[in-house]
Amino acid sequence: MLRHIRKLSLILMITAFFSTAQAEDSITARIIGGLEVGTGSLPFVVALLDTDRGSTEYVQQFCGGTLIDNTWVLTAAHCFDDLSAPYSNLKVMAGSVDLSTTAAGVHETLSVSNVHIHPLYNPSTFNNDIALIELSSSVITGSPVDYVSTAAFPYYTTGLYALVAGWGSTTYPSPYVYPGTMRDVSVPMVDDTICGSVYSNYTTKMVCAGYADGGRDSCYGDSGGPLLSTDGTDFAVIGVVSFGDGCAVAGYYGVYTKVSEFTAWIEGYTGALATSPTFTPVNTAVFGPLNTPTTPVVTSGGGGGGGGCSAVGEGSPIGFILMLSAAGIYFIRRRFQ
C-alpha cells in the first residue's frame, strides 16, 4: 500500500510544558475485530481520496466521512493537516462499500468545492477535531445519514453500543492488512471519567468508546468516519473518528469528536438537518443484517483506541504524536497518509 512520508508535529508533554519537534511517518485507521459490511449497507459512509497517492481508489483512500446532506460530508479536521486549498486532489467516493469496484454505476467519485475546518480545531490536543466538505455536485448513488446528533439526542449513555465503520487496517501492530471492503464494529460507550483518566487531552468536545480488554476498534485509515447510534434501520451520527493510543489494545479506548457539541456550527453551513431522531437505539454488540461475518485478526501490542485511527509501531502511519513522558503514551491520529 502506497504511503506518503510527511513531516508532522511531535509534541513532547513534560509535566508543565510542551516542546515541539518534527516527526516523519504516516497515519491510517481501519476497523479491527469487525465485520465486512454488506453491499448497500451504510450508504452514507464515504471514502476520502487523495489522487496524488496513486491511480486507484484503494490506494487513494486516506480518511472516511459521513454524508449528512446531498452536498455535505462530515469528517475530521485532522484529515486535512497535510492538504490545502483549492483541494484539487481531494475527491469523495460515495455509493459503495468496495474500494476496488470500478464498474460504472456502482459508485461515484465527486469533486470538492470547499473544506470548512472548525476555527477552534487544535492539532496538538485534537480538540474540536471536526470539518465539513462541500461537494461540487449532489450525490446520486449514496444517501445521507438519517439523523445528526444534538444535545437533545442523548445516545452517549455509558454501556450503550454504537457502530463505527471504515476502510481501516484490520490488524495491529504491523504487518498491517488493508481490505478493499468497508467493515464495521460495535463498541460500547465509555464513561467520560474513565476516558479522562486515560487521555489527559480528553475534553467535553469528545466522546469515548471501546472495550477495556481491547480486541475491537477503529485503526489506521478510519479517521473522519462515523460513530453511529442505530435501531437497526435508522442511523444517527453521534461521533467522528478522531484519535487513540494504538489500535484495539486493552485499556486504551477510541476517542471521537462529540457531534452533539457542534450541531449549530454544522447547520451554519448546511442549513437545517434532520436532528430529531425518534428511534430507540439497539443496545447490542451485534447489529445483524448489516454484516457478513468474517474472521477478525487481532494481535497484541501497543495501545488501542476505538473510534480513532492512529497507532504507533514499526512502519505504522503516524501524522501526529502527543508523547506523555510521565505515562509513556503516544496519541496518534487515525488517518491514512
- What does 180-193 look like in DSSP terms, one character per residue? SB-EEEEEEEE-HH
- Does residue 1 fall inside a structural domain? no
d(CA 77, CA 157): 25
- Does residue 121 fall inside a structural domain? yes
Higher pLDDT, 86 or 265: 265
Q: Is the pLDDT of residue 289 over 60?
A: no
Nearest one of 337, 298, 304 to 318, comparing CA atoms? 337
Q: Residue 172 has what pLDDT?
A: 67
What distance lies between CA 51 and its chain's CA centroid? 20
If you average pLDDT over residues 106-128, what whole number do you get? 94
- Does residue 320 fall inside a structural domain? yes
> Which range is least confidently modeled, 18-27, 138-147, 184-193, 256-265?
18-27
Q: Is the pLDDT of residue 5 over 50?
A: no
Q: Is the pLDDT of residue 305 over 70?
A: no
Q: Residue 266 has what pLDDT?
A: 97
The count of other CB atoms within 10 Å of the CB of residue 325 is: 10
Amino acid identity for residue 66 in this structure:
T
Higher pLDDT, 184 or 218: 184
The count of other CB atoms within 10 Å of the CB of residue 11 is: 18
d(CA 18, CA 324): 10
Amino acid identity for residue 160 in this structure:
L
d(CA 253, CA 200): 13
Higher pLDDT, 228 or 31: 228
Q: Spot the catalytic one: 169, 218, 223, 316.
A: 223
Query: The pTM is what?
Result: 0.78
Q: Residue 286 has what pLDDT?
A: 54
How is residue 63 annotated by DSSP? E
Q: Residue 15 has what pLDDT?
A: 27
The count of other CB atoms within 10 Å of the CB of residue 85 is: 10
Higher pLDDT, 107 or 61: 61
If you average pLDDT over residues 157-181, what whole number do you get? 79
Q: Residue 114 has what pLDDT?
A: 96
d(CA 328, CA 194): 18
If you average pLDDT over residues 212-226, what whole number do you get? 82
Share of the chain above pLDDT 70, in %: 68
Amino acid identity for residue 273 in this structure:
L
Q: Residue 233 has what pLDDT?
A: 86
Q: At 216, is the pLDDT very low, low, confident or very high (cuts 50, 70, 90)?
A: confident
If you average pLDDT over residues 45-54, what whole number do you get? 93
Our answer to whether residue 223 is catalytic in this structure is: yes
The count of other CB atoms within 10 Å of the CB of residue 300 is: 12
pLDDT tens-digit series, residues 257-273: 999 999 999 999 999 99
d(CA 251, CA 291): 27
- Does residue 153 fall inside a structural domain? yes
Domain count, the chain: 1
What distance lies between CA 208 and its chain's CA centroid? 12
Q: At 191, is the pLDDT very low, low, confident or very high (cuts 50, 70, 90)?
A: very high
Q: Is the pLDDT of residue 311 over 70?
A: no
Supply the CATH number for residue 78's domain: 2.40.10.10
Our answer to whether residue 100 is catalytic in this structure is: no
- Does residue 90 fall inside a structural domain? yes
Q: Residue 122 has what pLDDT?
A: 97
Helix (H, G, I), strand (E, B) or coil at 116: strand
Q: Spot the catalytic one: 50, 69, 129, 222.
A: 129
What are the b/e assignments for 46-83, b being 16+ CB within 10 Å?
A: bbbbbeebeeebbbbbbbbbbbbbebbbbbbbbbbbbe
- Does residue 105 fall inside a structural domain? yes
Structural domain range at position 247:
6-333
Q: Residue 49 has what pLDDT?
A: 94
Cβ(145)–Cβ(67) below 8 Å: yes
Q: At 150, is the pLDDT very low, low, confident or very high (cuts 50, 70, 90)?
A: confident
Nearest one of 317, 37, 313, 332 to 166, comparing CA atoms? 37
Residue 87 CB contacts under 8 Å (≥ 6 apart), including other chains: 112, 114, 115
Higher pLDDT, 216 or 256: 256
Q: Is the pLDDT of residue 317 over 50?
A: no
Our answer to whether residue 184 is catalytic in this structure is: no
- Does residue 57 fall inside a structural domain? yes
Residue 95 CB contacts under 8 Å (≥ 6 apart), including other chains: 43, 106, 107, 108, 139, 140, 141, 142
- Does residue 100 fall inside a structural domain? yes
Q: Residue 217 has what pLDDT?
A: 67
Residue 145 C-alpha cell reads as 445519514
What are the b/e assignments for 138-158, b being 16+ CB within 10 Å?
A: ebeebebbbbbbbeebebbee
Helix/strand/coil percentages in the chain, nearest 5: 10, 35, 55
Q: Spot the catalytic one: 50, 78, 118, 149.
A: 78
